[in-house]
Amino acid sequence: MKTFTYTSSTGSTVNLYEPVGLLVGQIMELRTRQWDWTLGYRSLTANRPARTVKFTALCRSQSMLEAAERLFDADVRAYVEEQVKPGMLEVDGWRQTALIVKAEPDYVSPQLTRVEFTAALFDGVWHKPVTRQFSRNTARYTSGKGYSYDYRYDYVPTRASAVLSNDSALPSRVKYIIYGAATSPAITIGGNKVIADVSIPSGGYLIIDGTGSPRTAVLTAANGDQTNVFDKLRRDQANNEYAFATLQPGVSQVSWDESFSFDIEYWMERTGLPWT
């Protein structure tokens, strides 16, 4: 472990791997891979619900400990009473929404306080976002491919072959950021097409977010105005035109007409934190 933080929905962050502040050494329960399962007759059903985990911190600054506990309390109250989003635990880039619901000291001295924290993990999985960028082919949509001699036609540049490699063992949730100008942008990944029946203005962008709950599609204009365009997405799974399809493990071919640029953010997922 190199980094361990808690980030509030307000944006405030508590460093949980700070030698002169709060220092968490062992995170065994966070590395635990756990499914809830029920056995049937030669069958099994399973899911990964929210759960609680514990970790112990050594603290050499009680003022830093007090500030952290005030933030943890404020986040739990805001979640319960105001339906504010929970915070986020992050370990070496792996994230999960969480709230710190208990802090129990078991050793106190003027120089050192030891506290056992209990965290509620909401997602059932840890995720690590990976982003790939795909650029507009400016040559294809300007004057074509130029030659030193005067041919009768412009020769269109050859499309680059794009691939996306997902190293996760599990299908990954995906977020798309598509940059304007673009009309009815369509992206094919593997055997699935992501199609939005919208016009994205120059300077604007469309975010199709299948990573959260609920899933969303928001069009942002150049002036910052936002429009909910969820109903403009193709969501036909039977015909492989599903805007929120997961990205399968392994290598997938990516194709589009190259008239626009876009980013793909996909989430590698693990039930328990990795060891390396």
pLDDT digits 0-9 by tens, 130-163: 999 999 986 555 555 555 555 455 545 545 558 9
Residue 222 has pLDDT above 80, yes or no: yes
Tell me what pLDDT residue 129 has: 94
Quote the percentage of the chain above a pLDDT of 70: 91
Whose tokens are 């944006």? That residue is 11
The predicted structure's pLDDT at residue 139: 58
Q: What is the widest separation between alpha-carbon atoms in the chain?
A: 86
128-270: what fold?
A: Jelly Rolls (2.60.120)
Domain ranges of the chain: 4-124, 128-270
Q: What is the mean pLDDT of residues 256-260?
A: 94
Mean pLDDT over the full length of the chain: 91
Is the pLDDT assigned to residue 259 strictly greater than 90?
A: yes
- What pLDDT, on a 0 to 100 scale, did the predictor assign at position 212? 84
Pairing of strands 186-189, 250-255: antiparallel
For the chain, how many helices (H) and strands (E)? 2, 23
- Percent of the chain predicted with pLDDT > 90: 83
CATH 3.40.50.300 fits 4-124, yes or no: no
pLDDT digits (tens, 9 = 90+) for 27-83: 999 999 989 999 999 999 999 999 999 999 999 989 999 999 999 999 999 999 999
pLDDT of residue 84: 95
DSSP type of residue 36: E
- Select from 200, 183, 182, 174 the least CA-distant residue to 254: 174
CA atoms within 13 A on the CB side of 206: 28
Q: pLDDT digits over 97-108, tens only?
A: 999 999 999 999
Report the C-alpha gap between 24 and 4 in whole angstroms: 8
pLDDT at 31: 94
